[in-house]
Structures are given as C-alpha cells and as structure tokens.
Amino acid sequence: MNGRTESSREVSRQRGFTLLELLIALVLSGLIMALVFGGLSIAIRSWETVGQRSEHISEAFTLQHFLRQQLMGVSDERVASLEEGTLVVGFYGLENELIFTGFLNADDQGKLLTWIYLRVNTEDLLKPRLQLSTAPFDNVEEVDWEQMLADFRTESTSTYTLLQGTLQQIRFEYFEDEPDGQGQWHSEWRDRYALPKLIRLSFEMTDSQPLDWPEIIVVPREHSYVIKSAT
C-alpha cells in the first residue's frame, strides 16, 4: 500500500507544477511584461518627441523663409511724411513692429505696392500671434505713421495670423552705415530717407516651444548689389 502511495505522488510531481513554481512563473512573466511595456512606452515617447521636433523645425524654416523673402523685397518707395513735411522712405521700424511697402508674393513684383505690417499680438498671453496686416498703398496722401500704427493695431485692415502660440515676441533691429565705416544697429528706423542696410530679426519663444530660433539678418534687395560689391 505504501509503495503505491509513494509511486502516485512521484507521478503527480512529474505531471504538474507546485504552487511555488506557479508563483515564480507568474512573477517572472510579470517582470518580462513590465520590461516590454516600459521599453515600448519609451520608444513611443521618443518617436513622438522626434516627430514634434521635426514639426517645429519645419515650421521655423517655413516661417523664417517667408519673413526673409518679405524683408528682402522691401521697396524704397518715397512717401510724404505728415510729421516731417518732406519725402521719406516708406519704411517705419520700431523694436517690436514694422511697417514697410512691398509685395506679398515674389511673383507680384511690378504690380501694385502694398503696405505691410508685422508684429506679435500679445493680447492673449497664452496664445500670442505673429500677425501680418496689409493695406492699400497710396503715395499721393501724406502718411501719418501714428494713425497708421493705430489702424494696424486695431486690426481694422486685412490681418493674417502666421503663427500662434509659439513666438512670445519678435525684435527688429536696423543697421546704419557710419562715416567711420563701422556702422551700428538701431532699435528704431523712423522718417529716414533711405532703407537700412540690414534688418535683423531675433525671436523670443514661448515656454511651450522646445527649440530656440536663430536670429536672421536680411539684406534688402535695394542694397544687395552695394554690399556684394563692397565684399
């Protein structure tokens, strides 16, 4: 009798698993699943980060290319300044705002000029907007720069949002040649008789933007030949 009992126990051990073995197997399986899931989560997050970074780079490149093209095409058209009472270049630059005459598209060269206005609208601090506004150009009437700024700021003209929630502020600087040949940058360019030799743009990003944009320096086409000849 005892022989049969021992034999049956031996057969049971050979055919099945003990409770301890099952627990160990479950723990190991859980660890393996946790490692696999953790690695998969990291891979997904990395993929999303790379995708977002590529999207931000593409966005920055597209917008900077557009801004560069617009500022390269600045016209040196003369206008009558109400403040100065004389002819000045149709270009009015402040530190965070810029008005100039030009064309919205490169293919529009030779067509009617347009007033173009650039600024970052920060009325909504959570979603600042880089805006471009346009107005018909009329070189017959005297230009009241302050009134024009007020009209553009109130968006009473055609206004387009180029970017939202990425740029906190944009800064313009204007380069002027000096008699000593060195030249210097100015934060304003108002009621001048010629365009600045260079226009520099620097960008302050919002906290949600993971990448800083490099500054860009633009040579207006009116001065590009002069600068190339000098170099």
Residue predicted with more confidence, 104 or 170: 170
Residue 137 lies in a domain: yes
Q: How many residues does the chain have?
A: 231
**Residue 44 domain-assigned (yes or no):** no
The two tokens of residue 221 are: 């086409």
Residue 222 domain-assigned (yes or no): yes
Q: How confident is residue 118, by pLDDT bands cut at 50, 70 and 90?
A: very high
pLDDT number for residue 226: 45
Residue 102 within any structural domain of the chain? yes
**What does the mean pLDDT of the chain come to?**
80
Identify the helix (H) or strand (E) that includes residue 204: strand 198-205
Q: Is residue 5 part of a domain?
A: no
Q: For 77-101, how does the pLDDT look when each residue is reduced to its tens digit (9 = 90+)? A: 999 887 767 889 999 999 999 999 9
In the chain, the number of structural domains is 1
In a domain, 32, yes or no: no
Q: Which residues span the domain enclosing 118?
A: 58-230
Percent helix, strand and coil across the chain, each to the nearest 5: 40, 30, 35
Q: DSSP letter string over 146-177?
A: HHHHHHHHTT-SEEEEEEESSEEEEEEEEEE-
- The answer to whether position 48 is within a domain reads no
Q: What's the burial of 210, exposed, middle or buried (CB within 10 Å: 0-12/13-18/19+)?
A: exposed
pLDDT confidence tier of residue 164, bands split at 50, 70 and 90:
confident
Residue 138 domain-assigned? Answer: yes
Q: Which helix (H) or strand (E) holds 196?
A: none
| Whether the predicted pLDDT of 194 surpasses 90 | yes
pLDDT confidence bin for 50, thresholds 50/70/90: low
Coil, strand or helix: which one is 21? helix
